[in-house]
């Protein structure tokens, strides 16, 4: 009985993995240029699209990094502490049904203080 349950769990995981990987034609990973702090919100990139992104604030940063939409401020937006990171995972899209949704990098803003930086790697 135990062996059957374990085998069923393994099969379920493998099927889920196959469906997830099958929904993507291919994977392209692209690192963005480091973003040097200006003390003002800036786009993650001026153009391009991604299915996921990993944002990392170097441990040497003196301040937190804020990220979100165009309305972020020093007291508004999600926080990335110095030495920390934020993974923006793939989302299920509706076009095609069950496919991965993409987001426009120009619609993602970061607020990095002067003297600090942010590194980002995205994929599609």
pLDDT score, position 78: 96
Nearest to 123, CA basis, from 22, 31, 16, 43? 31
pLDDT score, position 48: 92
The ranges assigned to domains in the chain are: 25-123
Per-residue pLDDT of the chain (124 residues; tens, 9 = 90+): 444 444 455 555 544 445 454 555 678 899 999 999 999 999 999 999 999 999 999 999 999 999 999 999 999 999 999 999 999 988 777 666 666 688 899 999 999 999 999 999 999 8
Domain 25-123 falls in which CATH fold?
Jelly Rolls (2.60.120)
pLDDT score, position 7: 47
Report how far residue 49's alpha carbon sits from residue 107's, in angstroms, rounded to the nearest whole number: 10
Report how far residue 114's alpha carbon sits from residue 105's, in angstroms, rounded to the nearest whole number: 22
62 Cβ contact partners less than 8 Å away, ≥ 6 residues apart: 82, 113, 115, 116
58 Cβ contact partners less than 8 Å away, ≥ 6 residues apart: 82, 83, 116, 117, 118, 119
pTM over 0.85: no
From the CA atom positions of the chain, what is the Rg in Å? 18
């Amino acid at each position: 009985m135990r062996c059957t349950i374990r085998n069923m769990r393994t099969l379920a995981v493998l099927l889920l993995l196959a469906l997830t990987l099958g929904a993507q034609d291919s994977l392209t990973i692209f690192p963005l240029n480091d973003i040097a702090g200006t003390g003002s919100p800036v786009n993650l990139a001026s153009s391009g699209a991604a299915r996921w992104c990993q944002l990392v604030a170097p441990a040497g940063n003196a301040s937190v990094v804020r990220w979100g939409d165009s309305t972020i401020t020093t007291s508004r937006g999600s926080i990335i502490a110095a030495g920390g990171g934020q993974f923006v995972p793939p989302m299920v899209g509706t076009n095609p049904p069950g496919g991965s949704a993409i987001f426009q990098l120009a619609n993602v803003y970061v607020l990095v203080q002067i003297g600090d930086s942010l590194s980002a790697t995205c994929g599609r």
